[in-house]
């Protein structure tokens, strides 16, 4: 590990005032950043420890939703009474991630900003446009079993690994931030993460030194909520395909549908065409097949991850059956 400076922030304002300089990174739980530093994938010159800021509470909003502090541990969020009752898809997604020990330490903000699990990203001897822009992409033409099949570019085919973010995408969460100039931003989760394009090293719309302070959820949606995660092991493994689904059925027809997908793209994937294929239709495999066709119309495999395309189809149909049973 390379040497670095360390400072502990005592307020969000102090953190952002200090956070924008070249080579500076915030550290929250450290469960991703420290691993990357040990491997010298990340080599910050300065760390600002935000873990003791007063951002660890979950509160009701005036709009009837929930405000989640950026430092709320994943374990506490999953166990929160209101989350379990009104947003079970979020609780289930959190509990499907990592391990009990990691969830005790992992924060809400850090979870959104965790980096890809692409093998070549972690291997500093491999070409990787995300780690070293312009060096190439060893995953294209390499072993790419866990990589993306939607929204890829010829520069990067990595996936975003978060389970929590997939549930938040289905719930239409908003990320609230504080910038160095004191301005706050509200960013729809759907717009927060970027597709790789020609700049896979730029993963979100955050500006340098911008701090996530909260994530807000709108009032609880109508309908049944399900999180389904398909992975190589039953625990302690990232998603090959995951789906956060919220579907309401009224008078025998699908009245509303929100579906977000993990393991398939560089960001939690939402496609309005999938939801449009369902709303107004009678629940059943005929409608579900049309939704799966819409999801996968532009899917592209890269060899070892070709299996994800039929897997995503089967997982979507199984999830929709569960949601509408």
Q: Residues interacting with ligand FAD, by CB under 6 A? A: 25-33, 35, 50, 70, 74, 97-98, 102, 105-107, 109-111, 113-114, 161-164, 211-212, 238
CA nearest 254: which of 321, 301, 205, 165?
A: 321
Could you tell me whether strands 5-8 and 46-49 are parallel, antiparallel, or unpaired per DSSP bridges? parallel
Min CB(304)–ligand SF4 separation in Å: 12
Q: Which does 98 bind (CB under 5 to 8 A by kind): ligand SF4, ligand FAD, none?
A: ligand FAD
Min CB(130)–ligand SF4 separation in Å: 4
Angle made by CA atoms 161, 75, 271, in degrees to the nearest 5: 35
Which residue of the chain is nearest ligand FAD when measured via CB?
A: 110
* Binding positions for ligand SF4, 67-96, rule CB under 6 A: none
Binding mask 123-162 for ligand SF4 (x = CB under 6 A): -----xxx------xxx-------x--------xxx----
Binding of ligand SF4 at residue 116 (CB under 6 A)? Answer: yes
CA nearest 240: which of 310, 325, 317?
A: 310
Per DSSP, the three-state class of 78 is helix
Nearer to ligand SF4, 43 or 101 (CB): 43
Nearer to ligand SF4, 128 or 175 (CB): 128
Rounded Cα distance between 132 and 130, Å, is 6
Structural Rg of the chain based on CA atoms: 19
The CA-atom distances, in angstroms, between 281 and each of 221, 277, 291, 297 are 19, 8, 11, 20
Helix or strand run (H / E) with residue 178:
strand 174-178
Nearer to ligand SF4, 121 or 238 (CB): 121
Min CB(41)–ligand FAD separation in Å: 11
Q: Which does 110 bind (CB under 5 to 8 A by kind): ligand FAD, ligand SF4, none?
A: ligand FAD
Token digits for 245?
């689904």
89, 244 contact by CB (below 8 A): yes
Q: Which residues neighbour 21 within 8 Å (Cβ) at sequence distance 6 or greater?
A: 46, 209
Q: If you ran DSSP here, which 8-state letter would residue 114 be given?
A: P
CA nearest 204: which of 215, 216, 188?
A: 188
Min CB(290)–ligand FAD separation in Å: 30
Piece of the chain touching ligand SF4 by CB under 6 A; list 2-10, 49-57, 120-128, 211-219? 120-128
Q: Which does 95 bind (CB under 5 to 8 A by kind): ligand SF4, ligand FAD, none?
A: none
Nearer to ligand SF4, 185 or 201 (CB): 201
Positions that interact with ligand SF4 (CB under 6 A): 116, 118, 120-121, 128-130, 137-139, 147, 156-158, 200
């Amino acid at each position: 590990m390379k040497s670095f400076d360390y400072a502990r922030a005592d307020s969000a304002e102090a953190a952002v005032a200090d956070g924008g300089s070249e080579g500076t990174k915030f550290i929250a739980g450290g469960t991703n950043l420290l691993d990357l530093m040990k491997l010298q994938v990340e080599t910050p010159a300065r760390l600002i420890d935000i873990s003791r800021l007063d951002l660890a509470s979950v509160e009701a909003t005036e709009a009837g939703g929930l405000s989640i502090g950026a430092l709320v541990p994943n374990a506490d969020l999953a166990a929160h009474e209101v989350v379990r009752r009104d947003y079970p898809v979020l609780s289930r997604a959190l509990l499907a991630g990592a391990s009990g020990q990691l969830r005790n330490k992992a924060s809400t903000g850090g979870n959104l900003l965790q980096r890809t699990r692409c093998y070549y990203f972690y291997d500093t001897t491999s070409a990787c446009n995300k780690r070293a822009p312009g060096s190439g992409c060893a995953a294209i033409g390499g072993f790419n079993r866990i990589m993306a099949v939607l929204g890829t570019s010829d520069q990067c085919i990595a996936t975003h690994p978060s389970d929590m973010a997939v549930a938040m995408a289905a719930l239409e969460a908003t990320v609230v931030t504080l910038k160095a100039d004191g301005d706050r931003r509200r960013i729809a989760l759907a717009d927060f993460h970027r597709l790789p394009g020609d700049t896979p090293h730029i993963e979100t719309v955050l500006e340098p030194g911008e701090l996530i302070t909260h994530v807000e959820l709108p009032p609880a949606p109508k309908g049944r909520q399900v999180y389904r995660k398909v992975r190589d092991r039953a625990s302690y493994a990232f998603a090959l395909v995951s789906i956060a689904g919220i579907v309401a059925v009224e008078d025998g027809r699908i009245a509303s549908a929100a579906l977000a997908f993990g393991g398939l793209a560089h960001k939690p994937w939402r496609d309005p065409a999938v939801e449009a294929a369902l709303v107004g239709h009678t629940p059943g495999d005929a409608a579900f097949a049309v939704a799966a066709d819409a999801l996968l119309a532009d899917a592209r495999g890269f060899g070892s991850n070709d299996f994800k395309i039929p897997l995503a189809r089967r997982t979507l149909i199984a999830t929709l059956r569960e949601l509408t049973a």
